[in-house]
Amino acid sequence: MKKSVLNWIGQALAIVAISAAASTAALAQSVDQEFARELKLVEGLKVYNKQLQDQLKAQTTAKREILASIDKAKGLEPQVAPLLGKMLNALEMFVKADLPFHKEDRMASIFKLKDLMTNPAATTSSRFRSIMDIYTVEMEYGNNYEAYQAVQNVGGEEIEVDMLRIGRISLYYQTKDQKVSAMWDTANNSWKALPSDTNRNIRKALKVAAGKIAPELLSLPLTAPEGV
């Protein structure tokens, strides 16, 4: 009987010992896994901190370069102001001598620029940007064509007509009844009436410019360039 009790106690102790060993092993494995996760997190944080340090260095360098550019720009400002004035004067002279399309709007933009030049609250950069915007628009006029409506003096009467501009090469108008057409004569700085047989092609060209029909080859009268 005593021997059986001892065997039972021995078996129980063995089971407890095995359970304890298993728990210890599981705990050790859990600790190892947790340590590995924490170690991986630490490595990730090291990489992230290194990236932040590199970004901070780059930002510091960029800031130093920007400040140097600002100081340099301040020294150039007295030289830029006269240049802007010359650019504006040249632009005004060019528009006045150009074909008379959208002339009121174009001159209004120049007058607005003149006000900006004398506005003490305006910065040199904003003045330069505004001038370059108008220069860009003026350059684009030479590379496109358009049809639009305007009021012209035809036979001593102010009437609405259809205007046709082809780059800076030619400017035409045609009355709404399609009976009268004219083109701008750059040599005489005035409108020149066109023969009635040009009305049909000018009407077609107006439709092409307005996007109403597909482009096609058309014969239109042109004025000779100045000096030819």
CA distance 110 to 190: 23
CA distance 117 to 127: 7
Mean local confidence (pLDDT), 173-198: 94
Domain layout of the chain by residue ranges = 78-141, 146-209
Q: Is the pLDDT at 227 greater than 50, yes or no?
A: no
Q: Is the pLDDT at 25 greater than 70, yes or no?
A: no
**Alpha-carbon distances, residue 222 vs 8, 90, 148, 155, 192 (angstroms):** 122, 27, 19, 22, 11
- pTM score, whole prediction: 0.64
Q: Is the pLDDT at 12 greater than 60, yes or no?
A: no
Q: Could you give the percent of the chain with pLDDT greater than 90?
A: 44
